């Protein structure tokens, strides 16, 4: 064991993975400012759950805070704890609320704000000492949130509610449910005391002023997603996955590429094998459909995507060599249309091997 430990201490620092996720900080900030402007008299917060949708919350939060964002939403208490040294504790809000007394005690000690989603959570919070909290009301999504019929419960009347939330199920569609939910949200606002109210996510912002309340909760659009036509032209691409070429190969007519030989060369062809695969979130749905770029050249994906490797056509960039970098075609609306994945999945599935 000692010999092994000594060997480890003698090794140089491990090399980085041959994958990087370039984050355009200026585009991220520009997106938040655009969403804040589109929110009208409401102010835009930021959903930074799931490690800022996979882009790195510890990088994203300070950038947005410096730009003027004052409220950050996460799903879990552990996520909030990881960000607690970056912003004032009252800026962090945990959407899933306290699930037990330990969560409630952590909220009390840290000053991080819980969202109360049930009568059980209301009781936990009050028994822990209460204080400022948010409240989620279920207006038709049937996910989490206080039922409309429970708004008159005495426990709710005892809460010191900062922001009264609800969440739209179909904000990205012209659905009658949007107006149904908006009216129920307004009804809830009339029943219980609160300081502010919030309903709109990224797509909800595009539905107009009647959905904005006092604070909006954009998430996907911050990171380059366009979930509603009304946001097109306002949102910039933020995330650009890049990978290195492991090997360049020359094929002849009849040669096949990858598992199950789904691509066959029709003539002489130069291809590259890239260090990127479905283990990194570049899923098999991109097989024969995706593309990469280098210096303005488009490099189509050939054959099946493997766990750690993908083959690309180098015809348009014959100068590329092993070790060179290529960028993945990953503008979220277009990538979603090609792959069949949602824009959310495209971001959050990008794996830990990317150097962000």
Q: Taking the alpha carbons of 106, 108, 114, 117 in that order, is the dihedral positive or negative?
A: positive
CB 164 within 8 A of CB 189: yes
132-138 vs 160-165, strand pairing mode: parallel
Could you read off the pLDDT of 185-195 as tens digits, one per residue? 999 999 999 99
Could you read off the pLDDT of 130-162 as tens digits, one per residue? 999 999 999 999 999 999 999 999 999 999 999
Q: How far apart are the first and last CA of the chain?
A: 34
Is the pLDDT at 330 greater than 60? The verdict is yes
**Closest alpha carbon to 286 in 261, 323, 311:** 311
- Return the pLDDT at 5: 60
pLDDT band of 15, cuts 50, 70, 90: confident
How far apart CA 226 and CA 242 sit, in angstroms, is: 22
pLDDT band of 8, cuts 50, 70, 90: low
25-223 is classed in which CATH architecture?
Alpha-Beta Barrel (3.20)
pLDDT band of 16, cuts 50, 70, 90: confident
Cα distances (Å, whole numbers) of residue 45 to 42, 134, 278, 303, 343: 10, 14, 33, 42, 20
Could you read off the pLDDT of 197-212 as tens digits, one per residue? 999 999 999 999 999 9
In CATH, the number for domain 239-348 is: 2.40.37.10
Active-site positions read 49, 259
Please give the full DSSP string across 44-78, using - where no structure is assigned.
E-EE-HHHHHTT-HHHHHHHHHHHT---EEESSHH
Q: Where are the domains of the chain?
A: 25-223, 239-348
Could you read off the pLDDT of 288-324 as tens digits, one per residue? 999 999 999 999 999 999 999 999 999 999 999 999 9
- Return the pLDDT at 270: 98
């Amino acid at each position: 064991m000692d010999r092994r430990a000594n060997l480890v201490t003698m090794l140089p620092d491990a090399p980085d993975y041959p994958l990087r996720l370039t984050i355009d900080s200026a585009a991220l900030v520009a997106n938040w400012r655009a969403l804040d402007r589109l929110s009208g008299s409401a102010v835009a917060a930021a959903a930074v759950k799931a490690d800022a949708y996979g882009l790195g919350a510890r990088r994203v939060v300070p950038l947005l805070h410096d730009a003027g964002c004052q409220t950050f939403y996460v799903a879990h208490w552990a996520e909030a704890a990881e960000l607690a040294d970056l912003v004032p504790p009252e800026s962090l809000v945990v959407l899933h609320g306290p699930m037990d007394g330990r969560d409630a005690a952590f909220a009390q000690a840290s000053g991080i704000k819980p969202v109360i989603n049930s009568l059980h959570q209301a009781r936990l919070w009050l028994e822990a000492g209460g204080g400022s909290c948010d409240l989620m009301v279920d207006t038709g999504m049937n996910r989490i949130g206080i039922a409309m019929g429970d708004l008159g419960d005495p426990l709710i009347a005892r809460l010191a509610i900062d922001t009264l939330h609800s969440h739209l199920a179909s904000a990205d569609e012209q659905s009658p449910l949007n107006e149904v939910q908006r009216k129920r949200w307004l009804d809830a606002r009339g029943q219980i005391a609160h300081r502010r109210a919030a309903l709109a996510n990224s797509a909800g912002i595009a539905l107009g002023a009647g959905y904005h309340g006092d604070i909006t909760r954009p998430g996907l659009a911050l990171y380059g997603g366009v979930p509603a036509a009304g946001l097109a032209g306002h949102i910039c691409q933020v995330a650009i996955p890049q990978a290195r070429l492991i090997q360049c190969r020359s094929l002849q007519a009849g040669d096949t590429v990858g598992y199950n030989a789904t691509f066959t060369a029709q003539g002489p062809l130069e291809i590259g094998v890239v260090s990127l695969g479905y283990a990194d979130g570049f899923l098999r749905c991109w097989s024969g459909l995706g593309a990469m770029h280098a210096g303005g050249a488009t490099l189509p994906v050939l054959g099946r995507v493997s766990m750690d490797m993908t083959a690309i056509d180098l015809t348009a960039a014959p100068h590329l060599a092993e070790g060179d970098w290529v960028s993945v075609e990953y503008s979220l609306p277009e990538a979603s249309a090609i792959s069949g994945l949602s824009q959310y999945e495209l971001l959050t599935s990008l794996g830990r091997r990317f150097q962000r």
